[in-house]
């Protein structure tokens, strides 16, 4: 089969080439990949991956073989899947059945591929706050892929969502998704919040922490700014007005078994995935080489699985 593999020195650090077929373990299903959507985590991992690695976590496709242990989706089912061990930018892939969920027959491949990491991260983060009904929940970096899902899931849980996104042009979209307030910077948020999800890090995390009510928590979920956090003296000094506030890190994979969450998210056509920029998968390395721009929405790659002289017989792409 064909797969993108890490190749130091090539365009985008990748080449599309023939690799051995995946051999599923007893708890894994074999899927034919129809679409995949790169995440920041995929792209960050490329630099560290040994040569010959097949990257890629999220995707959608069809089960070719169900798991030998009898669990999970059956052969022929349309599925959405996530593999923390990567290997998704390929025509076929073995996925643990616990990370693979059946999807509705009418859900487009591209839409499904945008869900796994961003939407399940948002769901698990919002759920950590328990009931948010009627409470102010701050989402920093709300226009990001995770942020947009978090806005929607928090709003439908009854939260008064305070959305912060630096680009004001994204605010109308965030209000449409359910945000109660929108701001371009944390300095403009005037009242304390019951909890916060920060996708940006750096000074954003420091400022989000300062906005917490006593007993509240900020989840440091993302670090898009790539910046250090420096807390001023006094941030943690005992004070009844700011007592027992906390910051917690987050890893999507720390709770196993994402199939139920993915099935719930995939089955909901009202969940807004934002604009989707669908491209042939042969363009992956060129897109990465050009900076992996995601401004106009999620970039999703459609995998060519059928005989197509233009793509299937291409062999390694130009580097």
Ligand X SMILES: NC(=O)c1ccc[n+]([C@@H]2O[C@H](COP(=O)([O-])OP(=O)(O)OC[C@H]3O[C@@H](n4cnc5c(N)ncnc54)[C@H](OP(=O)(O)O)[C@@H]3O)[C@@H](O)[C@H]2O)c1
Which residue lies nearer to ligand X by CB, 273 or 282?
Answer: 273
Distance CA 255, CA 318 (A): 40
Q: Measured from the CB atom, is 73 or 116 closer to ligand X? A: 116
By CB under 6 A, is residue 117 in contact with ligand X? yes
Choose, by CB under 6 A, the member of 60, 91, 144, 305 that binds ligand X.
Answer: 144
Distance in angstroms (rounded) separating the CA atoms of residues 207 and 192: 11
Closest among 70, 4, 71, 34 to 317, alpha carbons compared: 4
Determine, following the binding rule CB under 6 A, whether residue 200 of this chain makes contact with ligand X. Answer: yes
Report in angstroms the alpha-carbon separations of 30 from 61, 144, 256: 10, 31, 19
Of 180, 250, 264, 287, the one binding ligand X (CB under 6 A) is 250
* Residue among 139, 145, 186, 205 that touches ligand X (CB under 6 A): 145
Nearer to ligand X by C-beta: 117 or 151?
117
Which CB sits closer to ligand X, 60 or 305? 60
- Burial of 229 from C-beta contacts in 10 A (0-12 / 13-18 / 19+): middle
Question: Using the rule CB under 6 A, is 251 a contact of ligand X?
Answer: yes
**By CB under 6 A, which span of 84-92, 136-144, 176-184, 231-239 interacts with ligand X?**
136-144
Cα 164 to chain center, whole Å?
Answer: 19
Binding string, 39-58, against ligand X, x = CB under 6 A?
xxx-----------------
Piece in contact with ligand X (CB under 6 A), picked from 10-18, 20-28, 77-85, 116-124: 116-124
What is the residue whose two structure tokens read 């985590």?
41
**Closer CB to ligand X, residue 30 or residue 95?**
95
In this complex, which beta carbon is closest to ligand X, that of residue 12 or of residue 24? 12
Euclidean distance between CA atoms 140 and 118, whole angstroms: 15
Q: In angstroms, what is the minimal distance from the CB of 96 to ligand X? A: 17
CB 178 within 8 A of CB 154: yes
Give the span between the Cα atoms of 140 and 64, in whole angstroms: 40
Range in contact with ligand X (rule: CB under 6 A) among 102-110, 209-217, 233-241, 245-253: 245-253
Query: Exposed, middle or buried: residue 190 (CB in 10 Å: 0-12, 13-18, 19+)?
Result: exposed
Let me know if 314 is exposed, middle or buried by CB neighbors in 10 A (0-12, 13-18, 19+).
middle
Contact positions vs ligand X (CB under 6 A): 39-41, 117-118, 121, 141, 143-147, 166-167, 199-200, 221-225, 250-252, 294
């Amino acid at each position: 089969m064909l797969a993108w593999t890490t190749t130091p020195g090539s365009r985008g650090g990748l080449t599309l080439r023939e690799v051995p077929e995946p051999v599923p373990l007893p708890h894994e299903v074999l899927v034919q990949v129809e679409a995949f959507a790169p995440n920041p985590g995929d792209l960050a991992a490329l630099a560290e991956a040994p040569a010959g690695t097949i990257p890629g976590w999220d995707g959608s496709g069809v089960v070719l073989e169900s798991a030998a242990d009898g669990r999970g989706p059956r052969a022929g089912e349309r599925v959405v899947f996530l593999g923390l061990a990567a290997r998704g930018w390929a025509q076929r892939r073995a996925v643990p059945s616990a990370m693979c969920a059946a999807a509705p027959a009418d859900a487009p491949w591209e839409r499904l591929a945008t869900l796994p990491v961003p939407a399940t991260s948002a769901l698990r983060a919002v759920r950590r706050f328990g009931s948010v009904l009627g409470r102010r929940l701050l989402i920093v970096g709300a226009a990001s892929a995770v942020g947009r899902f978090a806005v929607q899931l928090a709003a439908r849980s009854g939260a008064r969502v305070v959305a912060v996104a630096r680009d004001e042009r994204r605010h109308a979209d965030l209000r449409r998704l359910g945000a109660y307030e929108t701001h371009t910077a944390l300095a403009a948020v005037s009242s304390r919040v019951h909890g916060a999800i920060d996708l940006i890090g750096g000074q954003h995390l420091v400022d989000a922490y300062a906005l917490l009510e006593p007993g509240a928590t900020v989840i440091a979920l993302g670090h898009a700014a790539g910046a250090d956090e420096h807390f001023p003296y006094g941030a943690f000094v005992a004070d009844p007005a700011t007592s027992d506030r906390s910051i917690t890190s987050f890893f999507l994979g720390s709770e196993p078994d994402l199939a139920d969450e993915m099935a719930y998210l995939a089955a909901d056509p009202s969940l807004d995935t934002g604009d989707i920029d669908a491209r042939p998968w042969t363009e992956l390395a060129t897109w990465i080489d050009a900076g992996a721009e995601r401004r106009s929405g999620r970039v999703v790659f459609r995998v060519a699985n059928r005989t197509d002289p233009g793509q299937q017989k291409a062999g390694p792409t130009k580097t």
